[in-house]
Amino acid sequence: MPLPDTLKLVKDFSRPSIAFAIARAPKSNQIFLGSSDFKVSAGDLTATKFEPKDLYAHASYVTGVALAGETLVSGGYDGKLTWWDTKNAKAIRSVEAHAKWVRKVVASPDGKRIASVADDMLCKIWDAEAGKLIHTLKGHEEKTPTFFVSMLYTVAYSVDGKYLATADKVGHVVIWDATTGKELSSVEAPTMYTWDPKARMHSIGGVRSVAFSPDSKWLAVGGTGKIGNIDHLEAKARVEVFDWQAKKQVAEFVADKSQGIVNRLEFAKDGSWLLGAGGAGEGFLIFMDVAGKKIIKQEKAPMHVHDFVLSDAADSLVLAGHNKVSQYKLG
Amino acid sequence: MPRNFFCGSTDHALTRRSFLGAATFAGIGAATGMSSLNALAAPDLAKDLKKNQKRVILLWLAGGASQLETWDPKPGAVTGGPFRAIPTDVPGIHISELMPEMAKRMKTTCIIRGLDTKNGDHGGGAKLMTRGRRDESGVKYPDLGAVVAREMGRAESKVPDYVTFYSQTEGRISGDSGFLGSRYAPMELTSGNSPEFLKRLDGINELDHQQRADLRDMFSKQFSREHSSNTLASHNEAYERVRGIMASETLFDITKEPQKIRDKYGKTQLGEQALIARRLVEAGVPFVRVARAWWDSHGQNFETHQEMVPELDHVMATLTDDLKERGLLDDVMIVTLAEFGRTPGINSSLGRDHFASAWSMSMTGGGIKGGSVYGKTDDKGQKVIAEEVNAANLFATIYSALGINPHKNYYVGARPIPLVDPGAEPIKSVVG
């Protein structure tokens, strides 16, 4: 696996909109973006001029894109999931998937399932080909302890596809059997949720990213630390790692040079490092050694990062974020 | 012993000062008893009565709520954010999808979308938008609450004239009666929902309290039989007022409300304080401010508004329905207002910053023409393109709807001070 200190920016592309979600066709330079202009677009990283082509649109922000084979599935604040045939460039179906805003869409490693999470506080598992709903996972409260609406921010599959993890605003993280939809375990990361009852009477934060270690033993959870002035994302980026079966925290990382929220996490395929990306007013990348319980590298990103794709060989990293797409290489 | 024709009913007390005041205006001259007046023959009296029935609940959205996530959505614009616009029960009017309950009640509400108030500073903006004008050297203007207290309050009232709730610490602004003086200063609640100093001391029971009042009353009457004193009347009024306000403590107690009403308003602080506000205006309190801090979403604007706007929507809708069911909505105006709005531009933290150039407020009930929108912003919400409103026009409109002449003068010494900035006019099309 390439080492984090070999990270190097290759190219930077300006975008007129905020890119919230990115997917990359395997062994390809084609990427798919879901953005704040409501569009799902496709672009070629090797093009002389990076000008993604709009494929179709949702009725609001597109917050999740996932590839299941040659099928792209996107989700957005319109509550819909759209299936798109990337080979033949045509729509397959659009489903009224959730009653509220879709926050994330992921594909199972074998490409047979799609998982979506939304602010109806449900995780739904779909047949990637037929588009049929298979399971509805209910494990997150609709309201916070102070009676306000909550949000269900993120979902991830384990590398072997056996498990799913979902995480919400108040720091409640649930691990599921991905085949049966049964709840297996849960852990809590309440530090990532700040409720201010005294000065401002609202909250900020929440768990925004989850990632399983390659052996599925650990679950990394990303967000931000406790915030004093919740008008801003002013706390340091924060990652906690759990032995989710033992319900025990095994590592905690506070990135002293990185302010903001960790929107995306992924382990290297050999587990030697964990990458987190996010931002506040600016963006960051954080490489962590979970076994060694130390931060390996913190790097300023060209923008607040909302998502990234990391190649299987971890030699190519593409970031999607606020008005930019940035391409890095490692190794 | 002089006979007291006053029956003691609150309804009749409501009109008593008006009778006396309007009788003076009508040139009849002040009277000490009601039997010498033919009140119904005086048209100014009828108008005065109508004015005196109006009350205001101000929902102060401290910190600056986003107009794009409430009253003036721009879905699909680069500035629009993720939330969509939804139709309301008034054809042609759309508001944010975060306000589905008020969308069903737009017939009661007027939205002003063309606010351009030019002050994007919390302190300065708050002063401007609570007074309708900027202070000037040597003149401290009273805020809206103090003016309404002055215009609608009753000398013998057994309830406060101006109550304000501001429970959060951020951006807390006190009510300010300015040159109107302490008589019109608010009862301020900054911790808890009940006034701190209304309770009797523990060592004084109700019987003691009443007997002390009776003793004071006896001495007062004895004194007045043998002496002439202007101060005595003023003292008597003050004591009666204090006793009345002490008795109004129960108005702040929401456990006196049926549980189903409490459940409707909900368990949040805003819900509980809005319910208390309803109790207060129902009892005749002319002005109640309920501050909901703190909307200053420089980071994570959409998360903040997703959390806070549904609460506002629900509480406002519940309050509107509650007032309507009690026959009060024509007389009680609900105002949502802040020091400014928020930028159309979305920053890197997915936040919106201060913006006073094109923002919105709302008025419901109380003399306002419901189902109306005044003012229009461009397709990105960056500027007002029609029917621009400044703070002075807005306050002239509010006063006018309440039956208060916005062009009347107060006096600071011999200097006449108009109620609103000279030249400011009410928006006639929204005054019912």
pLDDT for res B32: 29
B84 touches chain A (CB under 8 A): yes
Are A52 and A40 spatial neighbours (Cβ–Cβ below 8 Å)? no
pLDDT for res A141: 98
The whole-number average pLDDT for the span B286-292 is 98
Number of domains in chain B: 3
- CB < 8 Å to A202, chain B: 294, 304, 307-308
Domain boundaries, chain A: 4-30+104-329
pLDDT for res B5: 41
How many CB atoms sit inside 10 A of residue A23's CB? 27
The whole-number average pLDDT for the span B64-84 is 97
CA pseudo-torsion sign B72, B74, B80, B81: positive
pLDDT for B310-368, tens place per residue? Answer: 999 999 999 999 999 999 999 999 999 999 999 999 999 999 999 999 999 999 999 99
How many CB atoms sit inside 10 A of residue B220's CB? 16
The answer to whether the Cβ–Cβ distance between B310 and A36 falls below 8 Å is: no
User: In this structure, what token pair is assigned to residue A196?
Assistant: 């201010």
Are B329 and B402 in a shared domain? yes
Boundary (domain end) residue, out of B10, B36, B52: B52
Residue B234 has pLDDT above 90, yes or no: no
Confidence of residue B97 (pLDDT cuts 50, 70, 90): very high
More confident residue, B137 or B87: B87
pLDDT for res B2: 42
Boundary (domain end) residue, out of B252, B271, B296: B252
Are B299 and B204 in a shared domain? no
Are B158 and B286 in a shared domain? yes
Residue B34 has pLDDT above 60, yes or no: no
* Calculated CA dihedral for residues B217, B223, B224, B225, nearest 10 degrees: 110
Residue B201 has pLDDT above 80, yes or no: no
The answer to whether the Cβ–Cβ distance between A231 and B297 falls below 8 Å is: yes
* Calculated CA dihedral for residues B350, B355, B358, B361, nearest 10 degrees: 90
Residue B29 has pLDDT above 50, yes or no: no
Confidence of residue B244 (pLDDT cuts 50, 70, 90): low
DSSP per residue, A104-119: EEEE-TTSSEEEEEET
More confident residue, B207 or B308: B308
pLDDT for B150-164, tens place per residue? Answer: 999 887 777 899 999
- CB < 8 Å to A260, chain B: 349
pLDDT for res B243: 63
The answer to whether the Cβ–Cβ distance between B83 and A200 falls below 8 Å is: no
- A81, β-bridge pairs: A75, A95
The answer to whether the Cβ–Cβ distance between A303 and B348 falls below 8 Å is: yes
Kindly report the CA angle at A262 between A34 and A153, in degrees rounded to 5?
A: 60
A203 touches chain B (CB under 8 A): yes
pLDDT-wise least confident of B65-69, B72-76, B127-131, B190-194: B190-194
Residue A318 has pLDDT above 50, yes or no: yes
pLDDT-wise least confident of A240-249, B47-56, B79-88, B203-212: B47-56
Residue B38 has pLDDT above 70, yes or no: no
Q: How high is the mean pLDDT of chain B?
A: 86
Are B316 and B414 in a shared domain? yes
The answer to whether the Cβ–Cβ distance between B293 and A200 falls below 8 Å is: yes
Q: How high is the mean pLDDT of chain A?
A: 97
The answer to whether the Cβ–Cβ distance between B349 and A233 falls below 8 Å is: yes
> Tell me, what CATH number does B279's domain have?
3.40.720.10
The whole-number average pLDDT for the span B184-194 is 93
The whole-number average pLDDT for the span B24-39 is 32
Are B297 and B240 in a shared domain? no
Residue A235: closest C-alpha in chain B = B299
Interface of B with A in 293-332 (CB under 8 A): 293-294, 296-300, 303-304, 306-308, 310-311
Residue B3 has pLDDT above 50, yes or no: no
3.20.20.70, 3.60.150.10, 3.50.50.60, 2.130.10.10: CATH of A4-30+104-329: 2.130.10.10
The answer to whether the Cβ–Cβ distance between B78 and A198 falls below 8 Å is: no
pLDDT for A76-128, tens place per residue? Answer: 999 999 999 999 999 999 999 999 999 999 999 999 999 999 999 999 999 99
Are B261 and B314 in a shared domain? yes
φ, ψ for residue A11, nearest 5 deg: -145, 155
Residue B414 has pLDDT above 70, yes or no: yes
Residue B13 has pLDDT above 80, yes or no: no
Are B119 and B384 spatial neighbours (Cβ–Cβ below 8 Å)? no
Residue B12 has pLDDT above 70, yes or no: no
Confidence of residue B52 (pLDDT cuts 50, 70, 90): low
- CB < 8 Å to A154, chain B: none
pLDDT-wise least confident of A66-80, A81-95, A303-317, B4-18: B4-18
The whole-number average pLDDT for the span B18-27 is 39
A198 touches chain B (CB under 8 A): yes
Are B310 and B178 in a shared domain? yes
Nearest CB to A200: which of B170, B347, B351?
B170
The yes/no answer to whether this complex scores an ipTM above 0.95 is yes
User: In this structure, what token pair is assigned to residue A200?
Assistant: 């401002």
How close A283 comes to chain B (CA, Å)? 9
Confidence of residue B102 (pLDDT cuts 50, 70, 90): very high
The answer to whether the Cβ–Cβ distance between A281 and B348 falls below 8 Å is: yes
pLDDT for res B338: 98
The answer to whether the Cβ–Cβ distance between A18 and B306 falls below 8 Å is: no
| CB–CB contacts below 8 A, A to B | 96
Distances A253 to A1, A16, A187, A298 between C-alpha atoms, Å: 22, 33, 17, 12
Radius of gyration of chain B (CA): 23
Residue B25 DSSP symbol: H
Token pair 């501050």 in the structure block, residue: B291
Residue A214 has pLDDT above 60, yes or no: yes
How many CB atoms sit inside 10 A of residue B134's CB? 13
Distance of CA B43 to the CA centre of its chain: 27
B12 touches chain A (CB under 8 A): no
- CB < 8 Å to A201, chain B: 167-168, 269, 292-294
φ, ψ for residue B264, nearest 5 deg: -65, -45
Q: Name the H helices within B326-420.
A: 391-401
- CB < 8 Å to A78, chain B: 84
- CB < 8 Å to B167, chain A: 201
Are B40 and B102 in a shared domain? no
Residue B37 has pLDDT above 60, yes or no: no
Picking from B167, B300, B301, B352 by the largest number of A CB atoms within 10 A of its own CB, the best residue to mutate is B300
Are A123 and A164 spatial neighbours (Cβ–Cβ below 8 Å)? yes
Are B175 and B206 in a shared domain? no
Are B245 and B263 in a shared domain? no
Are B119 and B97 in a shared domain? yes
The whole-number average pLDDT for the span B367-381 is 97
The answer to whether the Cβ–Cβ distance between B307 and A119 falls below 8 Å is: no
Distances A147 to A155, A171, A199, B253 between C-alpha atoms, Å: 24, 16, 18, 21
A282 touches chain B (CB under 8 A): yes
Confidence of residue B192 (pLDDT cuts 50, 70, 90): confident
pLDDT for res B249: 82
* b/e A209-237 (16+ beta carbons within 10 angstroms → b): bbbbbeebebbbbbbbbebebbbbbbbbb
Residue B30 has pLDDT above 70, yes or no: no
- CB < 8 Å to A37, chain B: 78
Please state, for a pLDDT cut of 70, what percent of chain B lies above it. 82
Residue B50 has pLDDT above 60, yes or no: no
Confidence of residue B51 (pLDDT cuts 50, 70, 90): low
Domain limits for position B181: 55-194+257-430
Rounded-to-integer distance, Cα A258 and Cα B34, Å:
76
pLDDT for res B236: 67
Are B264 and B297 in a shared domain? yes
pLDDT for res B25: 36
Element (H, E) at B173: none
pLDDT for A250-301, tens place per residue? Answer: 999 999 999 999 999 999 999 999 999 999 999 999 999 999 999 999 999 9
